[in-house]
Structure 1
Amino acid sequence: MSKWYPKNGRVIFHVDMNSFFASVEMAFDPSLKGKPLAIAGNPEERRGIVVTSSYEARKYGVKTTMPVGEARRLCPDLIVMSPTFERYRTASKEMFKILADVTPIVQPVSIDEGYMDITDCEAQGTPPELARYIQERIHHELDLPCSIGIAPNKFLAKMASDMKKPMGITILRKRDLAKKLWPLPVEEMHGIGEKTAGKLHHLQIKTVGELAAASPLELKRILGINGERLQNKANGIDTKPVDPEAVHEFKSIGTSTTLPHDTTDETEIRKVLRRLAAKVEQRMKNKQVLSRNVQVMIRYYDRKTVTRSRQLQDYMYTADDIFNIALQQFEAHWTQEPVRLLGVTAQDLADKEEVTQQLNIFNYESYASKEKLYDAIEKINKKYGNDTFKSLSSSEQGQVTTSFQKDFLDDYKKE
């Protein structure tokens, strides 16, 4: 048993539900099992987009982000359904309850995945035994499949859980890196998007192993501080703990400036807000975080100060997004009196690498352009038109006004 529970190390699980939305629908309606199924926004429209698909559908080439029309051409028998979010929310809560029965050290990172630190669970069995117990219990009680990665840290556990799907259990130790991790293309490494992969390819770095052995100076020159982080992970180094309180954290990055003179000049005010937004963006990039709340502070000539913030549906970090939201808040609350000071703050932050956006119809236009989907979406829009990613206007409970992912994590905080 001691070989599984080192004195100085940790034992981390990453539990990843397989084809979650589709699997929940199959559990709810067993007649769907074994059939090609896709969950899509606006399924009645050929230009609606596939959110997720069953493994039976994937065998025909049906993929996430694919237009429904194209998916149906590949798989004429494809069953296409609209999302039923409350159903997914309920299933997720039950899944996390099962994880919490094993250890209180559970960190959800999205509706369908989370980390567990089982280092102190030696009395309950070996890590493979515990993984099988969790997997079998989720399957038996919820009729849902999951894959589990077992590793000494979060990054390796995440990579391990992706190596065998569905219903896989994979152990990834540091001594396994050369055989299991390093041969993988850099695009398959958690934390590397398409743009970063392109930069690495420019350096002739095409595998995780080549990244692990690359020149640190070259990586820093091309990727900045993120180059060091990625290389550490490629070498199996990740010191971030599983933090059950991470879901409760509300951090912020902000900056402000006193204007040279009190002003009501809207052009000057816009320039100041844009400059502040650029500073916030740079600090967010340095810290590798995303935000879903932007606050603007207005201090008038008489030192009266007001702050107004806006909660967002999805995470963002670009200067343009920050500026636009800050400007909207300013215009909505400015009294037309002379302004003495302006401030912009990004709040409700999360580590960029830990934000696993559940690919759904609320995320595409606002978030995907910053991640791996950028080129795919651009090509789809050029081919099928800019209305491809229409938002769903209602759910089982009426009008959708907030991000489904945010709602889930907010609910988890309350429990």
Structure 2
Amino acid sequence: MGRIIFHIDCNSFFASCEEAYNPSLKGKPVVVAGDPKERRGIVLAANYLAKQLGIYTTMPLWEAKKKCPSLIVRKPNFSLYRAISQQVFERLQRVSPLLERASIDEGYLDVTEMASVHPLILAEHIQRDLLETVQIPVSIGIAPNKFLAKMASEMKKPLGITVLRKRDVPNVLWPLTVETMHGVGEKTAKKLNAMGIATIGDLAKANEIALQQTLGIYGSRLKEWANGIDHRSVNPEEGEKRKSIGNSITLPYDVTEQRVLLDILRQLAESVGRRMKQKRVVSATVQLTIRYHDFQTITRSKTWDNPFQEAEEIFRYAAYLLKKHWNGEPIRLLGITALDVFDRKEAVKQLDLFHYEEEAKTEALWKTVEKLRKKFGGTAIQKGAALVEKKGEQQN
């Protein structure tokens, strides 16, 4: 007997959350976007009624409103989306303990041991339960492995239930373009296309050595997936192990100088930011830990509107918490933790097109700075203020 894996995918999740929070929005075209007064705002999410009118993610808001003058615009409410996501996964946990959270709006469920219930009946029960209790529509893919279950859940939306068996792969998946395949992003698709691989069927039959030369070990995995093979298990710990990323340091002596404490916070922020990038996660909450000379320890946290990952943002938020909550007593330990981290692709920001361009430039700059620091040392590039302070100390 093979495995029975469900992939549960919440439909138009952010827009569905807005409808669940405000039922009067149901049956109306709704988008989640930036400030509706801002001409350059863009659509971050759209419900299916809005999609039917030709509105899509990243469309300029002015263009969306031109297509649909009655369009209802909601600003991103990240805390609401996280809370509803938690409710969804709590209900899925009741179905099977073998639940792996893949992102804020999707997860895998291994129901192999529930042989007494037909998979289709179980899927219908899950779908109906989530719609009635949390007011969130979901599509469910049923397959013998995670890859096929993921592909199946994409085939019918909203409120779809699709079964995809391994024997269906040649007829169902192989004619599709590689761009539609789970695990193939834009850059990977271009590399595959350059190799003459246009469809999933082409990938399934491609030369494995050539794939490895172009994509490394990932090329072999993609070929397996294209042939309907995926040995990964549903691992509940996979989605839980990255809930927080932090770093702390016990100081060699008790410190009372704010300037020194801020320098230490900057080092900690750079360490936390680097690890977040390695794991490709972001967070919206910074926690600061302070241990005083008498070993009294306090933790203070704050959640910001926009998810962050850059060391400079982490430092700025931690510095804010230090200045607000430090009582002036000598400190012997400092720590920074990014709480409730999640996949970067889930991040929702209230950005207009101009800010997207600016952020892209900033990200490129920080990548260059990080490369230089890694090659020449942490002090290779410093802020002007730090250099002025250092020069002043030398003169004294």
How many angstroms apart in 1 are the aligned matches of 2:357 and 2:161? Answer: 36
- Which residue, 102, 109, 120 being the options, matches 2:113? 120
Map residues 47-126 of structure 1 onto 2, 5 A cutoff: 49-76=42-69, 78-82=70-74, 103=96, 105-106=98-99, 113-125=106-118
- The alignment partner of 1:124 has SS state of coil
Q: What is the aligned partner in structure 1 of residue 311 from structure 2?
A: 319
- 1:184-242 C-alpha deviation (Å, 9 max, x unpaired): 6666555666xxx437746847868559956547646xxxx999988886775363525
Structure 1 residues 325 and 218: CA distance shift in structure 2, 3 A: farther
- The alignment partner of 1:150 has SS state of strand
Q: What is the aligned partner in structure 2 of residue 19 from structure 1?
A: 12
Question: Match of 1:159, as an amino acid?
Answer: M
Task: Using the TM superposition, give the Cα deviation of residue 62 of structure 1 relative to its aligned residue in structure 2, in angstroms.
Answer: 0.7
How many angstroms apart in 2 are the aligned matches of 1:286 and 1:232? Answer: 26
Structure 1 residues 295 and 164: CA distance shift in structure 2, 3 A: same
How many angstroms apart in 1 are the aligned matches of 2:257 and 2:220? Answer: 44
How many angstroms apart in 2 are the aligned matches of 1:97 and 1:121? Answer: 18
How many angstroms apart in 1 are the aligned matches of 2:13 and 2:153? Answer: 14
Question: Match of 2:349, as an amino acid?
Answer: Y
> Structure 1 stretch 177-186 or stretch 281-290: which is displaced more?
177-186
1:310 partnered with 2:301: yes
CA contact (8 A) 1:117 1:242 kept: no
Task: Using the TM superposition, give the Cα deviation of residue 267 of structure 1 relative to its aligned residue in structure 2, in angstroms.
Answer: 5.0
1:378 partnered with 2:356: yes
How many angstroms apart in 2 are the aligned matches of 1:91 and 1:282? Answer: 30
How many angstroms apart in 1 are the aligned matches of 2:83 and 2:247? Answer: 40
Structure 1 residues 299 and 107: CA distance shift in structure 2, 3 A: closer
Q: What is the aligned partner in structure 1 of residue 159 from structure 2?
A: 167
> Structure 1 stretch 114-123 or stretch 287-296: which is displaced more?
287-296
- 1:267-288 C-alpha deviation (Å, 9 max, x unpaired): 5544433333222233334445
- The alignment partner of 1:72 has SS state of helix
Question: Match of 2:187, as an amino acid?
Answer: G
- The alignment partner of 1:61 has SS state of coil
Identity, % of aligned positions: 42
CA contact (8 A) 2:32 2:76 kept: no
CA contact (8 A) 2:147 2:182 kept: yes
Task: Using the TM superposition, give the Cα deviation of residue 260 of structure 1 relative to its aligned residue in structure 2, in angstroms.
Answer: 6.7
Structure 1 residues 226 and 319: CA distance shift in structure 2, 3 A: farther
Map residues 323-362 of structure 1 onto 2, 5 A cutoff: 323-336=315-328, 341-350=333-342, 352=343, 357=346
CA contact (8 A) 1:14 1:114 kept: yes
CA contact (8 A) 1:116 1:242 kept: no
TM-score by length of 1: 0.60
CA contact (8 A) 1:135 1:147 kept: yes
Structure 1 residues 250 and 189: CA distance shift in structure 2, 3 A: same
How many angstroms apart in 2 are the aligned matches of 1:324 and 1:90? Answer: 26
Structure 1 residues 265 and 189: CA distance shift in structure 2, 3 A: farther
TM-score by length of 2: 0.62
Structure 1 residues 297 and 136: CA distance shift in structure 2, 3 A: closer
CA contact (8 A) 2:33 2:74 kept: yes
- The alignment partner of 2:337 has SS state of strand
Structure 2 spans left out of the alignment, 5+ residues:
361-396
How many angstroms apart in 1 are the aligned matches of 2:173 and 2:152? Answer: 9
> Structure 1 stretch 156-165 or stretch 182-191: which is displaced more?
182-191
Map residues 195-274 of structure 1 onto 2, 5 A cutoff: 197-198=186-187, 201=190, 204=194, 213=208, 215-216=211-212, 219=215, 236-237=229-230, 239-241=232-234, 243=236, 251-257=243-249, 266-274=258-266
CA contact (8 A) 2:138 2:158 kept: yes
Task: Using the TM superposition, give the Cα deviation of residue 71 of structure 1 relative to its aligned residue in structure 2, in angstroms.
Answer: 0.6
Question: Match of 1:326, as an amino acid?
Answer: A
Structure 1 spans left out of the alignment, 5+ residues:
1-5, 369-373, 383-415
- 1:91-150 C-alpha deviation (Å, 9 max, x unpaired): 98997787567556556666754433221222121x234334544676789987532111
**Superposition RMSD in Å:** 5.1
CA contact (8 A) 1:250 1:347 kept: no
CA contact (8 A) 1:232 1:238 kept: no
CA contact (8 A) 2:40 2:353 kept: no
> Structure 1 stretch 273-282 or stretch 289-298: which is displaced more?
289-298
Q: What is the aligned partner in structure 1 of residue 143 from structure 2?
A: 151
CA contact (8 A) 1:186 1:207 kept: yes
